[in-house]
């Protein structure tokens, strides 16, 4: 599924659209349009506007135009194709097929290029001028003070708190398991149980992991990934991994070194 690293790949690809003018919009799936939009209204809002900038907050891709800002959310299986090129070959938990029926939103540009959102499971969406204040700070930029505030006083499991996009934007299932495994923290422990040194360690590992997996090519490139299976073993110490549901997500962790 696309987490913040995949959305960053999409953003970098979409950056080539900056300066180009929107000449047409296709929105064949009305359900995919959010905030009361329909195909007619989003076309009227975007046609003849020029894309002026690209940004990302967590898993939200933002395309600024001379009119409204376009917010693109990719759910669990969404992919962005730019000018006919696939930005990512395949996603974890998604199909490798390129079925035209999965195209949910298409922006046609003045030079013949296009941005195409494909989403087999239809869990993403498109909106105009999305409420960015509904998201917490981006996980790649969160300060020590912000992370302390996010965790302080919360009895929620650590993993669930880190995946709460309103608190901290960008981390999904794979990244959160990878970060906590590397940092040595049990994903089920209460968020408020981390002391100052623990939070500083978590932030260091988070930043290092995000940089490293960005270079490797995505959230699925973590060191824990190949062991995420029943009867999997910890790559660090060989212990049998625990498989639990935490925060509604299947979670893998090591009972030996994660405390």
Tens of pLDDT along 216-230? 999 999 999 999 999
The helix (H) or strand (E) run that includes residue 254 is: none
pLDDT of residue 100: 83
Residue 98 confidence (pLDDT) above 90: no
Tens of pLDDT along 205-215? 999 999 999 99
Give the number of domains in the chain: 2
Helices 173-183/196-216 angle, 10° precision: 130
Domain end, chosen from 100, 133, 166, is at 133
Tens of pLDDT along 7-17? 999 999 999 99
Rounded distance between C-alpha atoms, residue 47 and residue 42, angstroms: 8
pTM here?
0.94
pLDDT of residue 104: 97
122/210 same-domain check: no
Rounded distance between C-alpha atoms, residue 250 and residue 246, angstroms: 7
**Edge-to-edge strand order for the sheet containing 51-57?**
51-57, 60-65, 70-73, 125-128
The helix (H) or strand (E) run that includes residue 245 is: strand 242-246
* CATH number for the domain harbouring residue 147: 1.10.8.50
Average model confidence (pLDDT) across the chain: 96
In a domain, 259, yes or no: no
pLDDT of residue 6: 96
CA dihedral 248, 251, 256, 259 (to 10 degrees): -40
Tens of pLDDT along 230-241? 999 999 999 999
Q: How is residue 59 written in tokens?
A: 């898993």
Range in 88-92, 110-114, 238-242 the model is least confident about: 88-92
Domain end, chosen from 99, 115, 133, is at 133
85/173 same-domain check: no
Nearest CA to 162 out of 251, 238, 235 is that of: 251
Asked if 5 and 218 count as a contact pair (C-beta separation under 8 A), the reply is yes
67/165 same-domain check: no
34/105 same-domain check: yes
Q: Which domain holds residue 115?
A: 4-133
**Model confidence band, residue 88 (pLDDT cutoffs 50, 70, 90):** confident
Rounded distance between C-alpha atoms, residue 13 and residue 9, angstroms: 6
Rounded distance between C-alpha atoms, residue 159 and residue 147, angstroms: 13
Helices 4-14/196-216 angle, 10° precision: 50
- With 0-12 / 13-18 / 19 or more C-beta atoms within 10 angstroms meaning exposed / middle / buried, residue 250 is exposed
Residue 34 confidence (pLDDT) above 90: yes
93/200 same-domain check: no
49/12 same-domain check: yes
The residue-averaged pLDDT of 26-36 equals 97
Residue 59 confidence (pLDDT) above 70: yes
pLDDT of residue 97: 64
Asked if 187 and 259 count as a contact pair (C-beta separation under 8 A), the reply is no
pLDDT of residue 91: 61
The residue-averaged pLDDT of 106-125 equals 97
Residue 52 confidence (pLDDT) above 90: yes
Asked if 207 and 171 count as a contact pair (C-beta separation under 8 A), the reply is no
Asked if 88 and 95 count as a contact pair (C-beta separation under 8 A), the reply is no
Asked if 2 and 91 count as a contact pair (C-beta separation under 8 A), the reply is yes
127/9 same-domain check: yes
In a domain, 258, yes or no: no
Tens of pLDDT along 153-197? 999 999 999 999 999 999 999 999 999 999 999 999 999 999 999
In a domain, 193, yes or no: yes
């Amino acid at each position: 599924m696309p987490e913040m690293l995949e959305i960053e790949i999409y953003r970098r690809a979409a950056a080539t659209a900056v300066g180009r003018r929107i000449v047409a919009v296709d929105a064949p799936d009305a359900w995919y349009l959010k905030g009361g939009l329909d195909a007619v209204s989003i076309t009227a809002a975007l046609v003849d506007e020029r894309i002026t900038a690209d940004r990302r907050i967590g898993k939200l891709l933002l395309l600024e135009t001379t009119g409204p800002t376009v917010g693109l959310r990719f759910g669990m299986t969404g992919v962005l194709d730019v000018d006919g090129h696939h930005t990512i070959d395949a996603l974890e938990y998604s199909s490798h097929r390129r079925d035209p029926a999965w195209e949910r939103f298409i922006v046609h540009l003045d030079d013949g290029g296009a941005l195409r959102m494909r989403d087999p499971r239809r869990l993403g969406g498109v909106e105009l001028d999305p409420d960015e204040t509904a998201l917490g700070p981006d996980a790649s930029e969160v300060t020590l003070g912000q992370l302390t505030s996010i965790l302080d006083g919360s009895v929620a499991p650590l993993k669930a708190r880190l995946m709460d996009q309103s608190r901290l934007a960008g981390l999904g299932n794979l990244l959160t398991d990878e970060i906590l495994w590397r940092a040595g923290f049990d994903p089920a422990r209460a968020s408020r149980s981390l002391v100052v040194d623990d939070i500083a360690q978590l932030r260091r590992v988070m930043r290092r992991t995000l940089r490293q997996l960005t270079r490797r090519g995505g959230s699925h490139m973590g060191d824990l990934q190949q062991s995420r299976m029943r009867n999997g073993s910890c790559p660090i110490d060989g212990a049998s991994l625990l498989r639990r549901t935490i925060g509604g997500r299947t979670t893998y962790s090591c009972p030996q070194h994660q405390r």
